[in-house]
């Protein structure tokens, strides 16, 4: 349960048709093993904005040698907190995503290349987020979180073909790249919190930009198990970041 429940939380973020008045943002995420601090992979983000709203994009994953290991597309046209998305991992052929959004959500998952596609439907409901739409949900409710409120919501986890109750709250103030930042804690709003590790997210309190993520990854190791990571969104690449991916395309 633990190894797949929180995969879709990674405010890992994002190819879609062109939109009017579109702006494209490109940036990196640098992922490290949470315990050993070993460099694991690089996220290359391309976010499409329309009139200031994140409407979709792509996210490409590379190992330290610069080889692609995964790819994700997201489309927020129907719901800012629940994207149509498709994640694939190159090594095993693992897939997951959401391919229809209505009163119910259509989820799919494939464990490995050549295996059958599994499907499930879950109710859409209120206060619901999925995958990188969780970031949009946080930004939408940022003022309440900064005021100390605890928010309860449902997280759709396509990797589990189900949805779960979660809660999020502000836990403290910190600093990131020598600037003020705030930390949020996300955990199951059920007995699952005793067996599922929480997530910790660091945000810029002014721009509401995600600065750091700590928790389970949607990238798997050679055994097929998801990494537990720290992902930093630095303004400048760290010294151990692979130079083959720099500068941004």
Instruction: Kindly report whether the peptide bond that precedes residue 208 is cis, defined as omega within 30 degrees of 0.
Output: no
8 A C-beta contact, residue 14 and residue 39: no
- Alpha-helix runs per DSSP H in 38-164: 133-140, 142-146
Strand locations in the chain (E): 22-33, 39-50, 53-62, 68-75, 84-89, 95-101, 104-110, 118-123, 128-130, 151-157, 162-176, 179-188, 199-203, 210-220, 226-232
Residue 241 covered by a domain: no
DSSP helix/strand/coil, 210: strand
**Is the per-residue pLDDT at 179 higher than 70?**
yes
Residue 130 covered by a domain: yes
Q: How many angstroms separate the CA atoms of 16 and 73, rounded?
A: 8
How many domains does the chain divide into? 1
Residue 85 covered by a domain: yes
Task: Tell me the pLDDT of the chain averaged across its residues.
Answer: 88
Greatest distance between any 2 Cα atoms in the chain: 49
Residues paired with 228 in a beta bridge: 216
- Other C-beta atoms closer than 10 Å to the C-beta of 24 total 10
Residue 211 covered by a domain: yes
Q: Which of 142, 218, 154 is nearest to 182 (CA)?
A: 142
DSSP helix/strand/coil, 243: helix
Residue 249 covered by a domain: no
Torsion, Cα 154 60 97 25, to 10 degrees, reads: 60
**Is the per-residue pLDDT at 3 higher than 80?**
no
Distances (CA, A) of 249 to 27, 104, 160: 10, 37, 34
* Structure confidence by residue, pLDDT tens digits, 123-157: 998 899 999 999 999 999 999 999 999 999 999 99
* Structure confidence by residue, pLDDT tens digits, 95-106: 999 999 999 999
The percent of residues in the chain predicted with pLDDT above 90, rounded, is 71
* Structure confidence by residue, pLDDT tens digits, 24-57: 989 999 999 999 999 999 999 999 988 878 899 9
Region 173-190: what's the mean pLDDT? 95
- Alpha-helix runs per DSSP H in the chain: 2-5, 133-140, 142-146
Distances (CA, A) of 22 to 78, 189, 226, 248: 17, 37, 34, 19
Q: What residue has token string 């059958």?
A: 116
Residues of the domain holding 75 = 2-235
* Structure confidence by residue, pLDDT tens digits, 196-227: 789 999 999 999 999 999 999 999 988 888 99
Residue 243 covered by a domain: no
* Structure confidence by residue, pLDDT tens digits, 70-85: 999 999 999 999 999 9
């Amino acid at each position: 349960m633990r190894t797949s429940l929180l995969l879709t939380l990674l405010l890992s973020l994002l190819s879609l048709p062109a939109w009017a008045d579109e702006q494209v943002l490109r940036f990196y995420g640098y992922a490290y093993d949470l315990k050993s601090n070993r460099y694991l992979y690089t996220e290359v983000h391309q976010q499409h904005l329309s009139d200031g709203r994140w409407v979709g994009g792509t996210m490409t994953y590379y190992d330290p040698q610069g080889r692609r290991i995964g790819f994700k597309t997201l489309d927020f046209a129907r719901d800012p907190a629940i994207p149509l998305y498709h994640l694939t991992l190159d090594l095993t052929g693992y897939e997951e995503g959401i391919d229809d959004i209505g009163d119910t959500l259509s989820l799919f998952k494939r464990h490995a290349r050549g295996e059958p596609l599994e499907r499930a439907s879950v109710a859409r409901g209120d206060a619901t987020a999925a995958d990188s739409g969780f970031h949009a949900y946080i930004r939408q409710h940022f003022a309440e979180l900064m005021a100390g409120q605890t928010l309860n919501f449902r997280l759709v986890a396509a990797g589990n073909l189900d949805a779960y109750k979660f809660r999020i709250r502000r836990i403290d103030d910190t600093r990131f790249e020598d600037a003020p930042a705030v930390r949020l804690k996300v955990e199951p709003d059920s007995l699952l919190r005793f067996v599922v590790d929480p997530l910790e997210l660091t945000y810029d309190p002014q721009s509401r930009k995600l600065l750091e993520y700590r928790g389970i990854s949607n990238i798997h190791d050679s055994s097929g198990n998801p990494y537990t990571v720290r992902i930093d969104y630095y303004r400048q690449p760290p010294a151990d970041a692979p130079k083959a991916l720099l500068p941004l395309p």
